[in-house]
Chains A and B, each alone.
Chain A
Amino acid sequence: MADEPLVLGIETSCDETGVGIVRGTTLLADAVASSVDEHARFGGVVPEVASRAHLEAMVPTIDRALKEAGVSAKDLDGIAVTAGPGLAGALLVGVSAAKAYAYALGKPLYGVNHLASHICVDQLEHGTLPEPTMALLVSGGHSSLLLSADITSDVRPLGATIDDAAGEAFDKIARVLNLGFPGGPVIDRYAKEGDPTAITFPRGLTGPRDAAYDFSFSGLKTSVARWIEAKRAAGEDVPVRDVAASFQEAVVDVLTRKAVRACKDEGVDHLMIGGGVAANTRLRALAQERCEAAGIRLRVPRPKLCTDNGAMVAALGAEMVARNRSASAWDLSADSSLPVTEPHVPGHSPAHDHDHVHEVSKENLYS
């Protein structure tokens, strides 16, 4: 519908410069420039390299998104940006761009939460999010179980990984098996031809006294690596397909078991899965199977919307506009540890204005 909010979203929390444009819950553009290749030789994302790349990529990526969407910047109803969590210096580049763009166009600015955006992006795929929605976010950077009662104002963390992110475990096991990078897709591929019950790897934090919704993948990672090394030491061939299948099964078993349990415990009948690991076919299949058995509806966006992108930020921004949430102030800061309980960073309420020496003039542009 033409009267739904048209919002541009900017994402720079890690190594992707993402600019997306949505109208309400409709995706119009999803432009991403990645600096992943520049980090590869360091074995991980180098913050300064990411920040430098964001600065160079930003203006061309905004241009590309506008062209892709076929809209004019002056028709936008708001600019949304990831205010956190993420790499501080990288976030600051996106926040600086979003502020300048919003100010120059005379549009409201919405600083939003990266994790809440990962949940909200599903609106672009499957329509309005049910309330409440249970969300399992799994990627190379995060693994968390979140309960969203209102994606613009009420997101509660139920559990998270206490060590490695799920995606990290895939990358590390792929490296031990000499399968290259990234680990997720290649393990998924080998696992299809392997036996998931061939080797019983440990399921982390699933004991009766363990935290019900927290995750741990570090012990599993070590266990798989030791098993492979023992085979090699004994001069035996490593059954790569069976190892991949059994390892993957251990990860997705725990993820889906805990997610379904959280839905049951909280009486929630929808589960959304987001983040890069949501592309894993076994995770999708097992989640589907277990959700069906438990009477839960599963929602997983297409892979390109699961990884970091600007469209997810725009999706949450559009929801902020639609629900009349207050815009952020011009002194919005990048917050590398923004808690998920803050889906957006509203401007200062008038009652607290005396605290802020740097209050901006009420007389805005184009007013």
Chain B
Amino acid sequence: MLLLALDTATPAVTVALHDGSSVVAASSQVDARRHGELLLPAVDRVLAEAGLRLDAVTGVVVGVGPGPYTGLRVGLMTADTFGLALGVPVHGVCTLDGLAYESGIETGPFVVATDARRKEVYWARYADPRTRLTDAAVDRPADIAAEVAGFPAVGAGAVLYPDTFPDARAPEHVSAASLASLAAEKLAAGEELLAPRPLYLRRPDAQVPKNYKVVTPK
């Protein structure tokens, strides 16, 4: 088994290779505006580090978010296309689950919160690193204060809003290494992973830019 895991749902562009028992190579770079440029070179670097070629991969694991859309799609489109070209399955994992797994907080409950921009966070509550208690959601921190009060919280969203998350902890961004380890564990246990489709959680902004193609109602 050789899993290639990648995630672009947080400011990190992160890639890892997992052979079924451990992570064999990984790369993480934080640059929220260059997911598109950084991802493929990172895949190439991680493969080179492991001395492997992409055609050795038996499955692709991708973080499905939630996360800022433009970056999120880079990872999903890349994973989809690798799956097509290599003829291997593509597994989706909730990005927040990757962060929860990485947190190492064995005695829950705790909260994972990432930055959703527009003064909101993507978040979910966990019983332990492998057990999510709520669906991923997007909210203003002040609006969920009561639901998260008293729990430790991991992720950049927690760090950004100390009033709501006074006990904010590392890591800030997800790592593909955790995502891969979590996916490998679930696959070994015969668990179903998610479809590799994006968790947007918001409707698209219906704003038409000026001087762009005009489409009038039929």
What is the interface of chain A, defined by CB distance below 8 A to chain B?
Answer: 14-15, 36, 39-49, 51-52, 55, 58-59, 62-63, 73, 87-89, 92-93, 95-97, 99-101, 103-105, 139-141, 164-165, 167-168, 171-172, 174-175, 180-183, 330-334, 358-361, 363, 365-366
Contact = CB atoms under 8 A, between A and B. Distances in A.
Question: Looking at chain B, what size class is its interface with the partner chain?
Answer: 35 or more
A334 B36 contact: yes
Nearest to B49: A361
Interface string B179-218: 0000000000000000000101000111111011111111
Nearest to A60: B84
B205 A99 contact: no
Which of B44, B200, B209 lies at the interface centre, i.e. has the most chain A CB atoms within 10 A of its CB?
Answer: B44
Contacts of B53: 365-366
Contacts of B41: 330-331, 358-360
Contacts, number: 169
A58 B48 CA distance: 28
A99 B75 CA distance: 12
Contacts of A140: 213-214
Interface in B2-50: 34, 36-45, 47-48
B81 A181 contact: no
B213 A55 contact: no
A73 B85 contact: yes
Contact of B214 (A63, A96, A171, A360): A171
Nearest to B204: A48
A59 B55 contact: no
B74 A89 contact: no
B54 A42 contact: no
Given A44-B215, A171-B216, A100 B38 contact: no
Contacts of B70: 51, 88-89, 92
B217 A103 contact: no
A331 B215 contact: no
B36 A95 contact: yes
B206 A42 contact: yes
18 contacts: A15-B213, A40-B215, A45-B215, A51-B70, A58-B81, A89-B70, A97-B80, A99-B40, A100-B40, A103-B44, A103-B54, A171-B214, A171-B216, A181-B216, A181-B217, A331-B40, A331-B41, A360-B41
Interface in B71-102: 73-74, 76-86
Nearest to B77: A96
B69 interface: yes
A141 B81 contact: no
Given A46-B205, A93-B77, A101 B215 contact: no
Given A45-B213, A55-B73, A360-B40, 18 more contacts: A40-B215, A42-B208, A43-B216, A44-B215, A48-B204, A58-B81, A59-B81, A87-B209, A96-B74, A97-B77, A104-B86, A168-B213, A171-B216, A174-B216, A175-B216, A360-B44, A363-B48, A366-B53
